[in-house]
Chain A
Amino acid sequence: MLRDITLGQYYITESKIHSLDPRVKLAGTMLYVISLFLTDGLLGYLVGAIFLGIIIKISKVPFKYMVRGLKAIIFILIITAACNVLFYQGTTTIFRAGFVKVTVEGLEVAAAMSIRLVMLILGTSIMTLTTSPNDLTDGLEKSLGFLEKMKVPVHEIALMMSIALRFIPILVEETNKIMKAQTSRGADFTSGNLIQRVKNYIPIIVPLFISAFHRASDLAMAMESRCYRTGRQRTKLYPLKYEKTDYKGYIVIIIYFIIMVGMKITIEGLGVGGFFTM
Chain B
Amino acid sequence: MPFIKVENLVHKFFERNNEGEIIDEKNALDGVDFQIEAGQFIAILGRNGSGKSTLARHLNCLLFPHEGSIWIDGNEVKEEDDINIWNNRKNIGMVFQNPDNQIIGTTVEEDTAFGPENLEFSTEKIRDRVDNALKMTGMYKKMNVSPNSLSGGQKQRVAIAGTLAMHPKCIVLDEATAMLDPDGRKELISTVHRLNKEEGITIILITHFMNEAVDADRIFVMDNGMVTMMGTPKEVFSRSDEIKNLGLEMPVMMNVAIRLKNDGYEIPVDVFTIEKLADVYEQLYRKHLNGE
Tell me, rounded to whole Å, the shortest Cβ–Cβ distance linking A243 to chain B.
15
Task: Determine if B190 is an interface residue (Cβ-Cβ < 8 Å).
Answer: no
Which residues of B88-119 have CB atoms within 8 Å of chain A's CB atoms? 89-90, 93-94, 96, 98, 100-107, 109-110, 113-119
Which one of A170, A232, A233 lies within 8 Å of B148 (CB-CB)? A170
Given contacts A218-B96, A221-B62, contact A12 B101 (CB under 8 A): no
Please indicate the chain B residues that have their CB under 8 angstroms from the CB of A238 in the complex: 123
Given contacts A12-B144, A215-B100, A237-B130, contact A227 B107 (CB under 8 A): no
Among A53-61, A75-83, A159-167, A198-206, the one that faces the other chain is A159-167
Q: Are A227 and B118 in contact (CB under 8 A)?
A: yes
Which residues of B28-66 have CB atoms within 8 Å of chain A's CB atoms? 57, 60, 62
A165 to B115, CA, bound (A): 20
Task: Determine if B204 is an interface residue (Cβ-Cβ < 8 Å).
Answer: no
Which one of A133, A163, A235 lies within 8 Å of B121 (CB-CB)? A235
Given contacts A169-B148, A235-B120, A235-B126, contact A222 B101 (CB under 8 A): yes
Tell me, rounded to whole Å, the shortest Cβ–Cβ distance linking A234 to chain B.
5
Please indicate the chain A residues that have their CB under 8 angstroms from the CB of B103 in the complex: 166
Please indicate the chain A residues that have their CB under 8 angstroms from the CB of B100 in the complex: 170, 215
Task: Determine if A190 is an interface residue (Cβ-Cβ < 8 Å).
Answer: no
Task: Determine if A226 is an interface residue (Cβ-Cβ < 8 Å).
Answer: yes
Q: Are A225 and B62 in contact (CB under 8 A)?
A: yes
Task: Determine if B70 is an interface residue (Cβ-Cβ < 8 Å).
Answer: no
Task: Determine if A89 is an interface residue (Cβ-Cβ < 8 Å).
Answer: no
Tell me, rounded to whole Å, the shortest Cβ–Cβ distance linking B169 to chain A.
14
Please indicate the chain A residues that have their CB under 8 angstroms from the CB of B94 in the complex: 222, 225
Task: Determine if B86 is an interface residue (Cβ-Cβ < 8 Å).
Answer: yes
Please indicate the chain A residues that have their CB under 8 angstroms from the CB of B120 in the complex: 232-235
Given contacts A226-B89, A227-B86, contact A237 B123 (CB under 8 A): yes
Please indicate the chain A residues that have their CB under 8 angstroms from the CB of B98 in the complex: 215, 218
Closest to A238 in B: B123
Q: Are A166 and B104 in contact (CB under 8 A)?
A: yes
Please indicate the chain A residues that have their CB under 8 angstroms from the CB of B96 in the complex: 218, 221-222
Given contacts A218-B101, A227-B115, contact A133 B106 (CB under 8 A): yes
A257 to B148, CA, bound (A): 38
Contact with A along B63-87 (1 / 0, CB 8 A): 0000000000000000000000010
Please indicate the chain A residues that have their CB under 8 angstroms from the CB of B127 in the complex: 237
Please indicate the chain A residues that have their CB under 8 angstroms from the CB of B17 in the complex: none
Contact with B along A169-211 (1 / 0, CB 8 A): 1100000000000000000000000000000000000000000
A229 to B114, CA, bound (A): 12
Please indicate the chain B residues that have their CB under 8 angstroms from the CB of A62 in the complex: none
Closest to B90 in A: A227
Q: Are B115 and A134 in contact (CB under 8 A)?
A: no
Given contacts A224-B89, A227-B118, contact A237 B126 (CB under 8 A): yes
Closest to B129 in A: A237
Tell me, rounded to whole Å, the shortest Cβ–Cβ distance linking B222 to chain A.
20
Task: Determine if A10 is an interface residue (Cβ-Cβ < 8 Å).
Answer: yes
Task: Determine if A236 is an interface residue (Cβ-Cβ < 8 Å).
Answer: yes
Task: Determine if A39 is an interface residue (Cβ-Cβ < 8 Å).
Answer: no
Q: Are B104 and A223 in contact (CB under 8 A)?
A: yes
Task: Determine if B162 is an interface residue (Cβ-Cβ < 8 Å).
Answer: yes
Q: Are A134 and B110 in contact (CB under 8 A)?
A: yes
Task: Determine if B137 is an interface residue (Cβ-Cβ < 8 Å).
Answer: no
Please indicate the chain B residues that have their CB under 8 angstroms from the CB of A169 in the complex: 148
Please indicate the chain A residues that have their CB under 8 angstroms from the CB of B109 in the complex: 237
A169 to B117, CA, bound (A): 25
A225 to B107, CA, bound (A): 19
Task: Determine if A27 is an interface residue (Cβ-Cβ < 8 Å).
Answer: no
Q: Are B122 and A235 in contact (CB under 8 A)?
A: yes
Please give me the 7 A-B residue pairs with the lowest Cβ-Cβ distance, nearest first: A222-B102, A218-B101, A237-B113, A227-B118, A225-B94, A226-B115, A234-B117
Which B residues have a C-beta under 8 Å from some C-beta of A? Answer: 57, 60, 62, 86, 89-90, 93-94, 96, 98, 100-107, 109-110, 113-123, 126-127, 130, 144, 146-148, 159, 162-163, 166
A selection of 13 A-B contacts at a CB cut-off of 8 Å is A214-B101, A219-B102, A221-B57, A221-B62, A221-B96, A222-B96, A223-B114, A226-B89, A227-B166, A235-B123, A236-B126, A237-B110, A239-B123
Which A residues have a C-beta under 8 Å from some C-beta of B? Answer: 10, 12, 132-134, 162-163, 165-166, 169-170, 214-215, 218-219, 221-229, 232-239
User: Other than the known A224-B62, A235-B117, what 13 A-B pairs have Cβ atoms closer than 8 Å?
Assistant: A170-B100, A218-B101, A222-B101, A226-B89, A226-B163, A226-B166, A227-B86, A227-B166, A229-B86, A235-B116, A235-B120, A235-B126, A239-B123
